[in-house]
Amino acid sequence: MKRYLLKSLALIWVAAALPVYAETGNGANIFQAMEEEMARSMKELKVDDFGPPYFINYQVRHHDRAEVVATFGALLESDIKQKQTLFVDVKVGKPEFDSSHPQSHQYVTESLIPLDHHVDALRRALWYETDLRYKQAIVNLLKKKGRFISGVESHEIADFSPGKPPRERLGPIPEWKPRMEEWEALAKTVSERFHHAEDIEKSKVEVYANRTIRYYYDSEGNKIREGKLHYGIVIDGWVRSSEGDRLHDEESVYLQAGDAFPTEEELLARADRLIDSLQKLKRAPRMDPYIGPAIFSPDATAVLFHEALGHRLEGDRLRQDRDGKTFLKKIGRRILPEFLSVTDNPEMTRFQGTPLLGHYRFDDEGQESEEVVLVEKGTLQNFLLTRMPVLGFSHTNGHARGDGVHAPMSRMSNFIIESKSQVDAATLKQKLIEEVQRQGKPFGLFVKKIIGGETHTEGSGFQVFKGEPLYLYKVYPDGQEELVRGVDFVGTPLSMIGKIMVTGQDREVLNGFCSAESGSIPVTSIAPSVLLREVELQGAKKVRVRPPILAPPVVSASMQ
């Protein structure tokens, strides 16, 4: 059973021009090694009756990470790391029938390669990984032919479509200079705030920097270099309820080059807000399972659409025998209320001033990204596509994505929900109350914050998804709200998204990381609040541990 998880992202600052700390060069040696080994493999790599590959791509990713972590005013970790990874894809056979299938890279390991960019060392790493993937591709092709001959698997669509004209784009490399001493002082100051907070069992403040430089080269001539630099701050806190339930929340925001970095005072205010919210959550009563109308905040709506709709529109899944193929034959049919449309646009960099984490120029097959209208006025129009054709669609729209370790597949980027039926917040709440009264329910629900979700798309299992509310409120007919906890919302995709009655005017950005078969990748959702006619809540899994027996130590004078 496969799970696809969406988790919210911590506070990140993306910088554009910082002083040089660790220069990795322009990648000339990397591309030289790729080109030389590619030419040799495409011409000479063969065994027995099997000829050379018809397609190869290489991806090298250079990773820099600097991290500072503090807890309760004391430094926990301060470290700078580098590594460089290699991904190789080899296809044998023909584009109409080749070695690719859902388990094409069943031997998934993080292949580390030398950092110093010595051409001979790089070529040796490429040689070894290419040889492994070539032999694996031959085995995959033979197994695939066997399934086809035995009738277990049909084959009516080509396996690999023509790409766009080859491109060469050598983007700039972001300069790199972690400010470790400054971050250590900041992390200790902000984390010390939790020392004086009642009920906080555990907390930490993390300041980090991530730089990734991707070098892509394939046998069709695509040659791409892209660099990304992220700076981040995460403020985490944990409390434990009287029953022993461990509760966690974090403060997060996303910023880009040119945006003002949060001041110490702003971060201390965020820590205070987090402490107050967790203290209230700790005292909230557990709720019983329930069915009734609900308002979802923008981030809850984002998770709903991401899990219920987005993953089921990722085209590569529709080629997998095990997938449920919920929407495969629904092109041109209505799947959402007519006032809703959905697009995925990796070309967008900002929305209303907020930077979008899901942005990229070229995907992991070397193809330029495209905006895709998935649902227009409630009617399904398209899927997210790679170079693996899907019934009715024979060309990529630039959505092959992976983490550099797992094989790329079609994935979301900037997933955008638009509505033609909007009301303000007060009217949305009034409509909820009216629906509560119409249904004769004792209360409605308001999901104000959600911590993640998951979905199952396999045909052999139940076509369901789940979301995990963090701040969930009962809304009574008189308008009063009561914070509760201890439940998850569950549903089937076609049923739940079809129960949206109206949306709010408050579209917001949710940046995060989504984990699926091709690894954990950055994604963004842009969504409004929505009113649903009916939502089902089930009891959340209870992970209970006895609270600490003694109270925490008294804060010493040195920490005052």
Q: How many residues does the chain have?
A: 560
- Closest by CA to 240, choosing from 203, 273, 205, 266, is 203
Q: Which pLDDT tens digit goes with each residue over 485-521?
A: 999 888 887 788 889 999 999 999 998 889 988 999 9
Query: What's 192's DSSP letter?
Result: G
Return the pLDDT at 69. Answer: 98
Return the pLDDT at 3. Answer: 44
Q: Which pLDDT tens digit goes with each residue over 439-460?
A: 999 999 999 998 877 766 555 4
Q: How far is CA 430 from CA 45, 251, 478, 486, in A?
A: 69, 29, 10, 26
Distance of CA 106 to the CA centre of its chain: 22
- In Å, the largest CA–CA distance within the chain is 79
Q: Which pLDDT tens digit goes with each residue over 95-134?
A: 999 998 755 555 567 899 999 889 999 999 999 999 999 9
Return the pLDDT at 308. Answer: 87
Mean pLDDT of the chain: 88
Return the pLDDT at 150. Answer: 82
For residues 84 and 24, the model is more confident at 84
What is the share, in percent, of the chain residues with pLDDT greater than 70?
90
Return the pLDDT at 2. Answer: 44
Residue 19 above 60 pLDDT? Answer: no
Return the pLDDT at 252. Answer: 81
Q: How confident is the model at residue 6 (pLDDT cuts 50, 70, 90)?
A: low
Return the pLDDT at 4. Answer: 45
Residue 1 above 50 pLDDT? Answer: no
Please state, in angstroms and rounded to a whole number, the distance separating the CA atoms of residues 361 and 359: 7
Return the pLDDT at 177. Answer: 86
Return the pLDDT at 555. Answer: 74
Q: How confident is the model at residue 322 (pLDDT cuts 50, 70, 90)?
A: confident
Residue 317 above 70 pLDDT? Answer: yes
Q: Are 298 and 422 in contact (CB under 8 A)?
A: no
Q: How confident is the model at residue 22 (pLDDT cuts 50, 70, 90)?
A: very low
Q: Which pLDDT tens digit goes with each residue over 202-253?
A: 999 999 988 999 999 999 999 999 998 888 899 999 999 888 888 999 998 7
Residue 140 above 80 pLDDT? Answer: yes
Q: Which of 69-83, 259-273, 284-298 has the lowest mean pLDDT?
A: 259-273
Q: Are 315 and 410 in contact (CB under 8 A)?
A: yes
Return the pLDDT at 256. Answer: 66
Residue 377 above 90 pLDDT? Answer: yes
**DSSP for 216-284, written as a single string:** EEETT--EEEEEEEEEEEEEEEEEE-TT-BEEEEEE--EE-TTSPPPPHHHHHHHHHHHHHHHHHHHHS
Q: How confident is the model at residue 558 (pLDDT cuts 50, 70, 90)?
A: low
Return the pLDDT at 147. Answer: 82
Q: Which residues contact 96 (CB under 8 A, 6 or more apart)?
A: 158, 159
- Closest by CA to 491, choosing from 443, 533, 548, is 533
Please state, in angstroms and rounded to a whole number, the distance separating the CA atoms of residues 276 and 302: 25
